[in-house]
Amino acid sequence: MPDQSPRGETPPRPPRASLRTSVVWEVVKDALDRRVKATGTDTLDVLDTGGGSGSFAVPVAQLGHRVTVVDPSPNALFALERRAAEAGVADRVQGVQGDVHGLFDVVEREAFDVVLCHGVLEYVDDPGEGVRNAVDALRPAGAISLLAAGLGGAVIARAIAGHFAEARRALTDPAGRWGDGDPVPRRFTAEQLTELCGEAGVEVGAVHGVRVFADLVPGVLVDTEPGALDALLKLEAAAAELSAFHSVASQLHVLGEKRA
């Protein structure tokens, strides 16, 4: 039988049940379970900054937690409202227009048990300030989940595609960009992300490489080979915590705890 959520419900499958989110979802779910045990309450206050249409927020709410999503896009927040309603958790999900730099214009400091900051640091003007604000939104000993674009994965992807000059440019560019047409403003190494966390008062518990293999495997193989998707998911999970693979991951995930 599957594990039960704090409210006795069967937890949802990983958001979109995809290679892009499954590793992070399992880590986040475990972090939520640990905070439930540490706080002695079944219902946590969770902040999802940059949470968009709720690919994480809605499954978190389905576990019985209260989720506040802060996102600058009205369209994303409208989609969030619709998704939450369809999932039956509209009463546990609140969408607020804003961003991580102006976070405390829309939420209170030290008001949350867990903060998710996924796909945000690549796009903000000051990643350090972004992390500090996310941490300041946490109660003492609260958990933070950071997900950002990884430098190594982009370099490998450009090289495999035959764009060797772009791969070299990404490798040497301070922001990790492969050219003027690169849609990602900034990429990180694991060391850079953990340094940002340390400077913001976070005790880093784990670093994960996300999409280590998924972006390199032909989609037709995953779609047509029986059992390939499940096997690739298991491979991604096995490699995620191994530091040897952090430098080649498309994304990097850091899980930490606010120092008391």
pLDDT above 70 for 112: yes
Nearest Cα to 12, choosing from 30, 35, 32, 29?
Answer: 29
Q: What is the pLDDT of residues 52-62, one digit of tens each?
A: 999 999 999 99
Residue 31 is which amino acid? A
pLDDT band at 18, cuts 50/70/90? low
Tell me the domains of the chain and their CATH numbers. Answer: 15-148+188-212+251-258 (3.40.50.150)
Nearest Cα to 140, choosing from 56, 258, 15?
Answer: 258
Q: What is the pLDDT of residues 49-97, one digit of tens each?
A: 999 999 999 999 999 999 999 999 999 999 999 999 999 999 999 999 9
3-state secondary structure of 5: coil
**Whole-number Å distance between alpha carbons of 138 and 47:** 9
Nearest Cα to 64, choosing from 86, 83, 41?
Answer: 41
Query: Are 251 and 184 in contact, with CB atoms under 8 Å apart?
Result: no
**Whole-number Å distance between alpha carbons of 39 and 53:** 28
Q: What is the pLDDT of residues 180-217, one digit of tens each?
A: 999 999 999 999 999 999 999 999 999 999 999 888 88
CA 119 to chain centre: 6
